[in-house]
Amino acid sequence: MAQYLEQSKNLPPLPAIRHTIPGWFRHIIEIPEEDITQLVLMVKKDIDAFVNRKAPDFCLPDAGGKEVCLSAFQGKWVVLYFYPKDNTPGCTLEAVRFSAALEQFAALGAQVIGVSGDTPDSHQRFAEKHNLTVVLLSDTDHRVLKAYDAWKPKIMFGKEVLGTERDTFLISPVGTIVEVWRKVRVKGHAEEVKVSLESRGRG
């Protein structure tokens, strides 16, 4: 049993397991039936604390200064992603990829929303420069970032500072968080979220 538990430490969070089964399934197929429950319980410890919780509601200004509220999308899926800063390489690629896939997300009944601590004016310039069509909201006081635990300590130049963690939340049509991606790697992420949404069906 000990060897199975040791292997389980390297398993991905449960919501992502279905995407990685081919790589690690061979390690569990010989586990005795009586040990599977304990292994699954260990894996579940890695599930984000926000999963199955009601998504914190908020209202924030968009790039044009118009207030946008999460509650306005009740009845639709919402892909809510937090990113560190406009016009940085990773954040630009992420916004471009989500913008390119907006029609596909819409076909699945989903609205994509990006949030950062930048100002509405910064969002406007960011969107114009890169032809972005994704909704970008401004959280300059970090209130929403904190509500979703995406405002975290980071080490920069040897000092601890607070900053935005690149996180994504998939929110159901009834307002429940059903999946969370923390410390996102931008490459392939929009597709990863779309696949997850497709597996759940339209709202």
Cite the active site residues: 91
For residue 73, give every residue at least 6 positions away whose Cβ sits within 8 Å of its Cβ, in sequence order, or none.
111
Diameter of the chain by CA atoms? 59
For residue 74, give every residue at least 6 positions away whose Cβ sits within 8 Å of its Cβ, in sequence order, or none.
173, 174, 175
Cα 34 from Cα 36, distance rounded (Å): 6
Q: Where are the alpha helices (DSSP H) in 131-188?
A: 143-147
Residue 168 · residue 194 · CB < 8 Å: no
Could you tell me the two tokens for 156?
């920069």
Cα of 129 vs its chain's centroid, Å: 24
The pairing of strands 110-116 and 135-138 is parallel
Cα 101 from Cα 95, distance rounded (Å): 10
